[in-house]
Amino acid sequence: MECNWLCFFEATDETNPFVIKMVRSSDEGKKWKNRQPVYQPKNPGKLASAPWGILLRDQRLLCSFQTDEDQSDGLGSVDMKVIMSTDGGKTWGNESTVYSGPFGVWWNSLVQLSDGTVIAATSTNDSGKMAIKLVLGMIG
């Protein structure tokens, strides 16, 4: 059975300042290949950054990231979104906003508990104070 390591990262491309991409290794990280797009904001001037990806128990991939694409106030506020792949990362869809808040130091993460609950966590500068925001839910 082939075992893959996955790495999600921010990248810059021709049209967007930040997009989310993924690369995989099948040899324990010695070689990385098959750089694939995960998410690109609809508006070329907007950002998608700070990705975090996990393999769910049912073998779907889930990636979180932050973006300002739905905001009209520049970097005054951002959204934490998730996007899913059901085919090992070849295609991505079912984008969903998990949390919206003021722009600050956002670092996202995901974990799936043994009962299937997914916790989406992010750090943010909420009302001038650093805070950790947690959102719990089931992935349908």
- CATH number for 100: 2.120.10.10
pLDDT on residue 75: 62
Q: Which amino acid is at 96?
A: S
For the record, the structure tokens of 55 come out as 């393999």
pTM summary value? 0.89
Domains of the chain: total: 1
Domain that holds residue 110: 5-138
Neighbouring-strand partners of residue 36: 22
Which residue shows structure tokens 């990231």? 65
Res. 49 pLDDT band, cuts 50 70 90: very high
What is the Cα–Cα distance from 10 to 47, expressed in whole angstroms? 10
Percent of the chain surpassing pLDDT 70: 93
pLDDT on residue 131: 83
pLDDT on residue 71: 80
**CB-CB contact of 44 with 27 (8 Å):** no
Which residue shows structure tokens 């790495």? 7
